């Protein structure tokens, strides 16, 4: 019996790798990124994440999930606002900086842990932040 042969991908034709292939709807993506679906919509409105659209559904890739985790790390742990995150991500796209130089891989895992919206999941205390000369409330 002859089986149909699998097509060998043509090296000249770009194919979508596992990281960029859209696969998660917004509720699953939010769960994987440890955030609320509304947060993902806000990040899209701000131009920080561009999920693929299919039949009016947002589909997020593994790369999108990783990007959301980076955004959450920057906003939660580093206290950068969304405008600052946009600048950091633009500089990374231009090759001026590497976002991964800002944190260890352990930090990405910790930033993915669920915290409440008040920032209670931040490990630094007010006294530690004040001792470092930072204003922890961003005022």
Please count the other Cβ atoms lying within 10 Å of the Cβ belonging to residue 84: 13
Burial class (CB in 10 A: 0-12, 13-18, 19+), 2: exposed
For residue 52, give the 3-state DSSP assignment: strand
**How far is residue 29's CA from residue 59's CA, in Å, rounded to a whole number?**
8
Tens-digit pLDDT profile for residues 61-98: 999 999 999 999 999 999 999 999 999 999 999 999 98
Burial class (CB in 10 A: 0-12, 13-18, 19+), 101: exposed
* 106 band by pLDDT with thresholds 50, 70 and 90: low
Tens-digit pLDDT profile for residues 4-36: 565 555 555 455 688 999 999 999 999 999 999
All structural domains of the chain with their residue ranges: 26-113
Continuous H helices in 5-133: 26-33, 37-45, 62-76, 82-93, 105-111, 126-131
- At CB < 8 A and 24+ separation, what contacts does 55-58 make? 57/25, 57/26, 58/25, 58/26, 58/29
Averaged pLDDT, 119-137:
40
May I ask the CATH class of domain 26-113?
mainly alpha
Residue 66: per-residue pLDDT: 94
**Average pLDDT value for the chain:** 77
* 126 band by pLDDT with thresholds 50, 70 and 90: very low
- Asked if pLDDT for residue 60 goes beyond 50, the answer is yes
């Amino acid at each position: 019996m002859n089986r149909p042969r699998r097509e060998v991908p043509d090296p000249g034709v770009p194919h979508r790798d596992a990281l960029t292939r859209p696969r998660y709807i917004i509720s699953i993506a939010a769960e994987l990124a440890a955030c609320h679906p509304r947060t993902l919509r806000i990040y899209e409105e701000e131009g920080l994440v561009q999920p693929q659209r299919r039949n009016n559904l947002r589909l997020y890739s593994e790369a999108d999930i990783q990007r959301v985790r980076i955004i959450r790390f920057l906003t939660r742990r580093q206290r950068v606002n969304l405008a600052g995150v946009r600048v950091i991500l633009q500089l990374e796209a231009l090759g001026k900086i590497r976002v991964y130089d800002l944190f260890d891989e352990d930090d990405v895992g910790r930033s993915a842990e669920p915290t409440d919206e008040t920032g209670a999941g931040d490990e630094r205390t007010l006294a530690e932040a004040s001792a470092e000369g930072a204003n922890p409330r961003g005022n």
